[in-house]
Structure 1
């Protein structure tokens, strides 16, 4: 009697848990697909709105710049990329892409921007940074600045710290002594950035600038000060504007193809694996949701190649479930109970799943390290998807199979498509 009551209790608990899982997965999928306009005063964006889209999906401008110098070292190229990023995106809110191509070229992609003249003018700026005294004479230039960064001081006030090189230290010592108690203006390309008052004579090459209204403003000013002049001359060798119509056509078609592909996979799992196929389908929906959530949270910029990488990981997630279910069926055929067959099947499938996925992750790392542009996008979405597919297959699918067994949905070998003599 006690075993019977315990069995009924476990069945009830598992049924409630299974319904709860269905509701959670369904709610997440609905929210991801359509978003929620008002929940406790907050708006939750759909994945389509939250995930950053690349140049090929929403249009924009692509510029290929060539560095006009010989024997350029990696440090110079990386510094140039950093300074270009600060010029084009000083607030850090645009999803731009600046990548190296070959030994002396840099590609700049700015999704959603169509003002070609503005972009070329921004890239071609001299980057002339000057510190001027009240008399209008230049005290420092960008070449005298070693570093600038923003932080909150002990009073939580936004502050910019300046580090000067040896030559700049001497110049600034003279300037601050001469203009003690007066303002020194900081100009970028002739525009006033800030004009702090000299509080003391600075002889150690380390200064602080206060007066910013927020840490974001201080960080923006620090980035502009640090950007200075480019270390090399750039020349635009390729320039193209990608119309938004490409993205308007490509994205819906890609989403439609992806939805059809995933739908066919779910149908196959349901028909061929029956009961376990239901659990795998639920796990697969959950997997798609958490991958897209990861894309939106981590700020991945999705491109057409990135979508291809994502869909490839969906196939690999299904492949992991197929390996698990086939192993379980093999164990059942030799007479093991459903519970033991499930446990053994997962353990025996583990090595095969890890081998195939780790190999693909290594390939993704190589592609990401050596590739550029769309290749990097493909590799990044591939690696994120594979890591989450391993997690889903080995935890979520296993948990759902356990619930299915306990509540009676998977109580017989025939539910797994296995016939016993």
Structure 2
């Protein structure tokens, strides 16, 4: 009557063993972490060293190596809150529109006369026409270039609007396009920051959007907030521009469509360059630290097919002329084009050391931030504070764990001991699941584990009390145990499903620490129900089959 099928015994035992096996690496945290970091470093660089090999050999490769990642509040690290200047993108958009608008207006030159771009606000484009009487023809020619916006909120709207003001055609982005541009800028900034942080090999960063124009960045294990700012705080905007002239005065006037840019390694030298770039960093497919022909650190790069074609066409048509390599508003170098450069590859030289060239290559590979960022909040959490948090969390877990063990044994005797064994297995299953999915443990996550420890015995209490009730009917110990598990199941399911729904809502609606709490709570609910219903039953059946007691003391 009281029996568990063999397949179910094998399945429950296998799940318990697998869970404890996945949890085991956390008992050797430093060794396994060094092993994982060494393997990632070898994979990232393609080379190995004796130190990396020794670290990789510190943990057997046939054993699981997944760890519960420690969050910022447990491990220490850097916290930044950045504001993205989404308006900066409008000026770039206007510059990109100008060549197409210029060509369209040149086709109407017989009607509108000469055209000339005027100085204007960053978010608009002004073109003066030679024949103001026919300015509406110019407006129509420009308006015909606008495109529908691909956006759920901007259905039916165009990306820009053209109007006439005196003798000038004024081009402005539409409100719908501004909103869509802001959203694209934020999404692109999030992705590029994530790629830059991942390139640096950091572990489990938190990078998420807050509000309309802010980004929260938390990176555990990094030395300081300044180190994180150095990694992500620069736009790393690389462009290749035509050089119109060179001067020693920063007040030298330039023609419309040009700008004066300082030289990075030549103080007091300025270059007049065309604002419309020949190619930009967006056309890069790869950038790697290297050395030039003189053995000095440099960065080699390669363009995609479109960028390679434009770069090759430009160099073929401007042999003997200089062109500027501009990085973040400074001319890194302005070499003279000696010949047609085909293939779309080249090298950036400058006054770099090895570390600077490596960091520049990382930034260029990750891509350029589309807009400047201002850091509104920065905070460095030291490893000592993280260690204190771990000790406090471990103490809380230990006190809760011991208190529950003592209570269960005092209240239910031998059956309480069975529940305690299941509780120990339950804790192992929680850490095994967290390690398997690569979850990040934070202080709220520890709170979720502590809460789970208290809740884990609820199901056992319901089962044991139900067994006591069934014993009063004198149906025998075996039947009482069987009915106790069967009749307590509905109450256990109801109580835990409602809590699991709450954990799901916290996860999907919350962010950051709230998600960490929801994850550990949700996993804890599932493992505690499994341990109470299946693990304790397997233990009780195994004991009952051996002892064959005539009466039960629950």
- The alignment status of 1:126 with 2:211, answered yes or no, reads no
Write the deviation string for residues 215-245 of structure 1: whole angstroms up to 9, x where unpaired.
Answer: xxxxxx9996674222343211111112222
Which has the larger helix fraction? 1
Query: Hey, what does 1:369 align to over in structure 2?
Result: 508
Match of 2:451 in 1: 312
Measured in 1, the distance between the counterparts of 2:202 and 2:425 equals: 30
Give distance in 2, aligned partners of 1:412 and 1:106.
Answer: 67
User: Aligned ranges for residues 371-386 of structure 1 at < 5 Å?
Assistant: 371-386=510-525
Q: Secondary structure at the match of 2:507?
A: helix
Q: Structure 1 residues 237, 403: CA separation in 2 closer, same or farther (over 3 Å shift)?
A: same
* Match status 1:414 vs 2:544: no
Structure 1 segments (4+ residues) deviating >6 Å: 27-30, 176-180, 186-191, 221-226
By relative contact order (CA 8 Å, sep 6+), the higher-ranking structure is 1
The reply on whether 1:52 has 2:190 as its aligned counterpart is no
Q: Is the CA contact (8 Å cut-off) linking 2:22 and 2:433 kept in structure 1?
A: no
Tell whether 2:436 aligns with 1:286: no
- State the Cα deviation string for residues 158-199 of structure 1 (Å, max 9, x = none): xxxx997xxx74x5445578999xxxxx999799xxxxxxxx
Task: Report the alpha carbon displacement of residue 291 of structure 1 after superposing the two structures with TM.
Answer: 1.0
1:241 counterpart SS class: strand
Structure 2 CA distance for partners of 1:414 and 1:402, relative to 1, 3 Å: closer
Q: 1:341 aligns with which of 480, 491, 498?
A: 480
What RMSD in Å do the two structures reach over aligned CA positions? 4.4
- 1:255-294 counterparts in 2 under 5 A? 255-294=394-433
The alpha-carbon deviation at position 92 of structure 1 amounts to 4.6
1:90 and 2:199 correspond: yes
What's the TM-score, normalizing by structure 2?
0.53
User: CA offset at residue 129 of structure 1?
Assistant: 4.9
Aligned runs of 1:202-217 on 2, under 5 Å?
Answer: none
Does the residue aligned with 1:312 lie in a helix, a strand or coil?
Answer: helix
1:331 corresponds to which of 446, 458, 470: 470
Deviation of residue 106 (structure 1)?
1.4
State the alpha-carbon separation in 1 of the partners of residues 437 and 502 from structure 2: 21
Structure 2 gaps of 5+ residues are 33-56, 88-178, 242-276, 287-301, 317-324, 333-341, 345-359
The question of whether the paired residues in 1 share the 8 Å contact of 2:460 and 2:532 is answered with: yes
CA deviation after TM superposition for structure 1 residue 394, in Å: 2.2
Q: How far apart, CA to CA, are the structure 2 residues paired with 1:369 and 1:240?
A: 27
Is this contact kept in 1: 2:400–2:454, CA < 8 A? no
Mark the CA change 1:76 to 1:279 in structure 2 (over 3 Å): closer, same or farther.
Answer: farther
Where does the alignment leave 5 or more consecutive residues of structure 1 unmatched? 1-9, 133-137, 149-161, 181-185, 192-199, 203-220
Measure how far apart 1:317 and its partner are.
1.5
1:390 matched residue in structure 2: 529
TM-fit CA distance, 1:315: 1.8
Once the two structures are TM-superposed, the CA of residue 100 in structure 1 deviates from its matched residue by 2.5
Find the counterpart in structure 2 of residue 228 from structure 1.
Answer: 367
Give secondary structure in 2 for the equivalent of 1:106: strand
TM-score calculated relative to the size of structure 1: 0.68
- Contact 1:310–1:382 at 8 Å: present in 2 too? yes
Hey, what's the Cα distance between the residues in 1 that align with 2:455 and 2:23?
24
Are 2:517 and 1:403 aligned?
Answer: no
Report SS of the residue matched to 1:89: helix
Instruction: Give the match's secondary structure for 2:462.
Output: helix
Alpha-carbon contact 2:477-2:552 (below 8 Å) kept: no
- In 1, the alpha carbon distance for the partners of 2:508 and 2:17 equals 37
Correspondence for 1:353 among 465, 471, 492: 492
Equivalent in the alignment of 1:248 = 387
Note closer, same or farther for the CA distance 1:121–1:93 as it changes in structure 2 (3 Å cut).
Answer: closer
Structure 1's 30 and 88: CA in aligned 2 closer, same or farther, altered over 3 A? closer
1:254 and 1:307 in contact (8 A); partners too: yes
Q: Which residue of 2 aligns with 1:109?
A: 218
State the Cα distance separating 1:402 from its structure 2 match: 0.9
